[in-house]
Amino acid sequence: MRYPLKVWRQHLVPQHALTTFAGMLSHSEIPWLKNYLIRYFLKRYNVNMNEALEPNPFAYPSYHEFFIRRLKPGSRPIDASPTSIVSPCDGTISQMGKIEGNSLLQAKGRHFSLEALVGSHEDAKAFENGHFATIYLAPIDYHRVHMPLSGTLTHLRYIPGELFSVNPLTTDHVDNLFARNERVVTFFKHDHGSFAIILVGAMIVGSIFTRWGGNVTPHRAKKILDISYPNLPEQHIRLDKGDEMGYFALGSTVIVLLDAKMQWEYDLSQNSRLVVGQGIGHLLP
């Protein structure tokens, strides 16, 4: 397969420096600059500002705040079935299915290691032969990430890495993409087992935030960071299905891993469009 020039260029550019610069621009509150960036974005993408909590795009103090805009209450109804698994984000299914032992499908002819993705042999074993869904967030998508199930946070792992784009073209051509890029792996317990939500960084994604810890990637650390959370019930961080759990400062990919008996919805496949709260699967007894 021919290697596209757009992918080759990503090997050559200074990924982290470019991302840092983009982050600085996106946080600027200089009126003419932030309005120029917002206006360019609106012109390039068909953004539905009517569903935003603040529908005036130029009322946001920065491009960053515009990009992570909240939606009006009720804009994303959460599937209320007690056994449903819901989409954690707006986006497009890149891949979805069974984890074959320790291997996940990235794209046709390309697989990657579950252990490499989560950064731990022990954590990987919990999801072997489980289920996964990889969802790509395009720039136009709502970029806050929500809970696919109710759960209690047990630990988090920040894994440094490269910052390749995660668009479909790059996904089709860069081996081990999601296990190479910077990412934040969050682990949860729920009534039927365990699940993980993985926020994968990418080119010009300034930062990855969690609801409970803020910016997990403030200085582009060079080593793996593990954080465990209290076992005392009164100190648990518990989030309900549909609750916001984090967001990207610019866009990327979310991967959900589940170890429970479950089934994905039959009408979903690669390239299916999703919105937050939409039922994408259900737990089995």
* Residue 173 tokens, joined: 């051509």
Expressed in angstroms, the distance from the first to the final Cα of the chain is 44
Which of these is catalytic: 26, 90, 120, 131? Answer: 90
Kindly give the confidence (pLDDT) of every residue in the chain, 285 residues in length, as a single tens digit, with 9 standing for 90 and above.
Answer: 455 655 545 555 545 555 566 667 777 899 999 999 999 999 988 889 999 999 999 999 998 899 899 999 999 999 999 999 999 999 999 999 999 988 888 877 788 899 999 999 999 999 999 999 999 998 888 989 999 999 999 999 999 887 776 666 666 767 788 888 888 999 999 988 999 999 998 766 657 889 998 887 655 567 888 888 877 666 788 999 999 999 887 668 999 999 978 999 989 988 999 999 999 999 998
- With 0.75 as the threshold, say if the pTM is over it: yes
192 is annotated as an active-site residue: no
Which of these is catalytic: 64, 131, 143, 146? Answer: 146
Output the pLDDT for position 264. 94
Residue whose token pair is 């930062």: 207
Q: Which amino acid is at 239?
A: L
Q: Which amino acid is at 108?
A: K
Whole-number Cα distances in Å, 274 to 2, 91, 207, 269: 31, 5, 23, 11
Cβ contact 89:135 at 8 Å: yes
Coil, helix or strand for 121? Answer: helix
Output the pLDDT for position 1. 46
Q: Sketch the domain layout of the chain as residue ranges.
A: 14-67, 84-283
Output the pLDDT for position 232. 61
Which of these is catalytic: 87, 94, 120, 252? Answer: 252
252 is annotated as an active-site residue: yes
* Residue 65 tokens, joined: 């705040």
Whole-number CA gyration radius for the chain = 18
Q: Which amino acid is at 139?
A: P
120 is annotated as an active-site residue: no
